[in-house]
Amino acid sequence: MRGLMQYIADLRACRVRELEERRINKEMAHIRQKFKDGQLDGYQKKKYLSKIVFTYILGYQVDIGHMEAVNLVASNKYSEKQIGYLAITLLMHENSDIVRLVVNSIRKDLDEISELNNCLALHAIANIGGVEMAEALAGDVHRLLISPTSRSFVKKKAALTLLRLYRKHPEVIPAEEWALRIIAIMDDDNLGVALAVTSLVMTMAQDHPEAFASSYQKAVQRMHRIVVENDFTAEYVYYKVPIPWLQVKLLRLLQYYPSPDDPTLRKTIETVLDTIINNSQDSPKNVQHNNAQNAILFEAINLAIQLDTESALVSKAAVLLGRFILSRETNVRYLGLDTMAHLAACAESLEPIKMHQNTIILSLRDKDISVRRRGVDLLYSMCDVTNAKVIVSELLKYMQIADYALREEMVLKIAILTEKFATEYSWYVDTILQLISSAGDHVSEEVWYRVIQIVVNNEDVQEYAATKVLEHLKSSTCHENMIKVGGYILGEFGHLIANDPGASPIEQFHTLHSRSHLCSQSTRALLLSTYVKWLNLFPEIREQILYVLNRYRHVLDAELQQRACEYVALAEMPDDDLLQAVCDEMPPFAERSSLLLSRLHKKHTDTEDKRTWIIGGKDTNRGREQARLESLKKGKANGGAMPTGNAGSVIPAGHRSEAVTADSMRNGANDDADNVLAGLEGLDMSAPRPGLEDVGLLSEQPLIGDDSTPSTPSVTTPSTPLNTKPLTAGADKFFQRLCFAPEGVLYEDSQIQIGLKTEYHGHQ
């Protein structure tokens, strides 16, 4: 196509962008006129469409040529059909209306005898995708895959196309119905087909383990032929390692199923794993050989851990892992730490891992952030009562210099370890307050909610906590989260330290109030509740508190103004009976689980292959493994190897309580009734911070204990119900922006977005 070559040459000759744009606009106008005139033959359509595609590849928007591409797809000439498929693949997306016009042409090409046409159609389906295309053509793709007349390269492309459609729209693919026919192709003599089908089986088995259970034996037999019997062709040997990609896929597939009951099959697996581990002792010939060998070895170790952590294979593997985390190669250190975290998550004894504790701590200073992240995960997984103080101390030190991407996750892990392995309340309080003080904005609301819950429930720590939090409030720098904790704890238990030097009521008041001018509205609302608590506990500072409350009666914020008016009205009543009832001490929360683990697990949700384990100790993983085994026994397709727990119960926040100890500390009258509130009722149920609009996800699975909710706070009085459900997530954020910006979002959901724009002319 001389015209295309000349067009490309002209664009390359342009020295500035303006000349290039001028040439493109001229050419697009010429092509548009040609398309408008019609009567073009196939060659001309192909030439002009090639120019359009090249222009699109350069990054320019094109709005012509779509119908011509559809026509070329239906052409009988391969060269024209090829350009047509290339154009629709690049110019159309899965939601394009024009995609519907090519479905029949694609189906026709799938039905043809020509393998080239089959492959063009499969490429288009895989690249465009879309639910309509999946519904219409998935059956045809499956037919090509299982057809005995299909060539190997067509089967391979069909398997990968089906994999793409399943990952995109799993609900459209009847995986359970097709399971047996797909599994049968795993024995294909062509190892390329076997690799593609194994990838498909592995993905589907994660969601339908029982339907694909028969793939287990085929995977074991194929591994035995490759590793032990050396049954493979020379063309699939990669740097003296036979078919490393297929071996990795097969080993990973086996990890989604429990240890087999058949002793012969189990013996075969052990033989394969032992051979792989022994082969790894050979010194690598080059980098490629080393990479391929290590990829297989680490998957084999993961499978051995999954089968039996007490086996001789795992003991041998633990020694190897100790060497790997000392390796000079970053990739090997990373894989060693990750696999050792898997061992720590499943092993009954952590002693083999504790031998390398100092080395693991040193990994926190590694130059590669991925290695540092794996080091944090491993320290979290290997922590127990004996080494908790050392590990938490090291994590706190490292957090001061850690990357911002790691800090929020580290805060959750430190908080969980401190709560889980604390042997004395003083250490818990000191550590958590130090964490809140040093981590600042990276401390999520769940962390300080949990601190208050534990302090309220344990009388032995209340006085100590009040003393320590007052010390932190007196420091030169104090984060807002510390002010929230201080306001709540001093409001409840400040009277326990009122006689201590430096902790008199007036000193507590001045210390806390001096921090309020830089706080958000929600924190100030909490502090007002603290003040009215003190109004009841410390009559000697009544005058100072009433002065502050009266000032807040005239602020612009409706929530602060309403609180101040109500609290002043309580204080000015003839007797203090109602004030004492409302300000009664907070009752203990009902014993329940922490939401910190749920928040952490949500951070580890995978977007690709699902994990068979989660970061944490054996207690964390035991329940998940038991649920997985029960699912397989019952024949349920429960979403793969990582079943999730039931969502926590939701307690609507429809009625506003006047109890100062609880609901009066909420942020705003219209509190969001998200699931997380059920686990934290009685605390500061603020609207989600920026970045946490989807806070409802945080309580979808129960954690360390039962799923009961804390007890309702103290005495309440009748109140009017409020509409607690916002129109849209982040409504408060949108409203605040509109208060000072002339335009912004007013309402938003999955279907529509409504914006608001204001203009003023003169005095109007």
Task: Give the tens place of pLDDT for each residue, 516-537.
Answer: 888 899 999 999 999 999 988 8
Count of helices and strands (H, E) across the chain: 35, 4
**The pLDDT of residue 663 is above 60:** no
User: Which residue segment(s) compose the domain that 1 sits in?
Assistant: 1-91
The confidence score (pLDDT) of residue 630 equals: 62
Q: Looking at residue 691, what is its pLDDT?
A: 34
Do 180 and 188 form a contact (C-beta atoms < 8 A)?
A: no
Degrees, nearest 5: CA angle 607-608-613: 90
Helix axes 505-513 and 542-552, enclosed angle (nearest 10): 20
The stretch 153-179 carries a mean pLDDT of: 94
Model pLDDT, residue 679: 39
Mean residue pLDDT of the chain comes to: 82
pLDDT at 615: 80
Backbone torsions φ then ψ of 262, nearest 5 degrees: -70, 115
Quick check: helix, strand or coil at residue 490? helix
Cβ(719)–Cβ(658) under 8 Å?
yes
Angle between helices 42-57 and 66-73 (to 10 degrees): 130
* Cβ(699)–Cβ(675) below 8 Å: yes
Look at residue 701 and tell me whether its pLDDT is greater than 70.
Answer: no
Choose one of 60, 91, 122: the last residue of a domain: 91
The fraction of the chain above a pLDDT of 90, given in percent, is: 52
Return d(Cα 306, Cα 595) in angstroms, integer: 27
How does residue 1 score in pLDDT terms, banded at 50, 70 and 90?
confident
User: In angstroms, rounded to a whole number, what is the distance separating the alpha carbons of residues 659 and 529?
Assistant: 9
* Nearest-angstrom CA–CA distance, 364 and 333: 12
Q: Which of 151-165, 181-195, 575-589 has the lowest mean pLDDT?
A: 575-589
Q: Do the domain assignments include residue 744?
A: yes
Residue 545 inside a domain? The answer is no
The whole-angstrom separation of Cα 589 and Cα 657 is 17
pLDDT at 500 over 50: yes
Question: Predicted confidence band at 80 (pLDDT cuts at 50, 70, 90)?
Answer: very high
* Residue 630, token pair as written in the block: 């029960």
The answer for residues whose C-beta is within 8 angstroms of residue 431's C-beta and 6 or more apart is 392, 396, 414, 418, 422
SS3 371: helix
Sign of torsion, CA 134 139 140 141?
positive
The candidate with the shortest Cα–Cα distance to 430, out of 398, 408, 461, is 461
Residue 16, pLDDT > 80, answer yes
> Which amino acid is residue 675, in one-letter code?
N
CA distances from 581 to 153, 490, 493, 659, 721 (A): 79, 18, 16, 9, 21
DSSP string, 718-756: ---B-----SSTTHHHHHHHHHHSSEEEEEE-SS-EEEE
Q: Is 28 part of any domain?
A: yes
Per-residue pLDDT at 763 exceeds 80: no
Which residue, 48, 69, 91, sits at the end of a domain? 91
Q: What is the pLDDT of residue 508?
A: 92
Asked whether the beta carbons of 663 and 657 are under 8 A apart, the reply is yes
In a domain, 524, yes or no: no
The label of the residue with tokens 């990054």 reads: 59
How far does CA 43 lie from the centroid of its chain?
50
Identify whether the C-beta of residue 402 lies closer than 8 Å to the C-beta of residue 410: yes
Per the domain annotation, does 24 fall within a domain?
yes
pLDDT at 711: 36
Q: What is the pLDDT of residues 417-445, one digit of tens each?
A: 998 898 888 899 999 999 998 888 888 88
Poorest-pLDDT segment among 228-237, 340-349, 662-671: 662-671
Closest alpha carbon to 136 in 98, 171, 172: 172
| Domain count for the chain | 2
Collapse the DSSP code of 313 into the 3-class scheme (helix H, G, I; strand E, B; otherwise coil) and give the result: helix
pTM: 0.73
Q: What is the mean pLDDT of residues 667-683?
A: 37
Count the Cβ atoms, other than its own, within 10 Å of residue 405.
Answer: 9
Least confident range from 157-171, 207-221, 666-680: namely 666-680
Least reliable range by pLDDT among 548-557, 616-625, 642-651: 642-651
pLDDT at 598: 66
pLDDT for position 738: 77
Average pLDDT over residues 326-334: 92
pLDDT band at 280 (very low <50, low <70, confident <90, very high): confident
Q: Which residue has the higher pLDDT, 636 or 700?
A: 636
Closest CA to 142 of 125, 159, 126, 128: 159
Residue 157: pLDDT band (50, 70, 90) is very high
Give the pLDDT band of residue 387 (cuts 50, 70, 90). Answer: very high
One-character DSSP codes across 63-75? -S-HHHHHHHHT-
Interhelix angle 330-346/287-307, nearest 10 degrees: 0
Q: Are 698 and 706 in contact (CB under 8 A)?
A: no
Residue 250 within a domain? no
pLDDT for the residue numbered 376: 94
How far apart (Å, rounded) are the C-alpha atoms in residues 360 and 374? Answer: 9
- CB-based contact 645:621 (threshold 8 Å): no
In 3D space, the residue among 256, 242, 289, 251 whose CA is nearest the CA of residue 272 turns out to be 251
Calculate the dihedral angle through the C-alpha atoms of 126, 131, 132, 137, rounding to the nearest 10 degrees: 40
Q: What is the mean pLDDT of residues 30-37?
A: 90
Reported as a single tens digit per residue, the pLDDT across 56-66 is: 999 999 888 89
Residue-level pLDDT at 97: 83
For residue 759, being part of any structural domain is answered with: yes
Beta-strand relationship, 241-242 and 743-748: unpaired
Assess contact for 122 and 109: CB atoms under 8 A: no
> Do 47 and 33 touch, CB atoms closer than 8 A?
no
754, part of any domain: yes
The stretch 485-510 carries a mean pLDDT of 92
Q: CA-to-CA distance for 370 and 607, rounded, in angstroms?
A: 18
Give the per-residue pLDDT at 165: 94
Give dist(CA 616, CA 383) in Å, integer.
Answer: 9
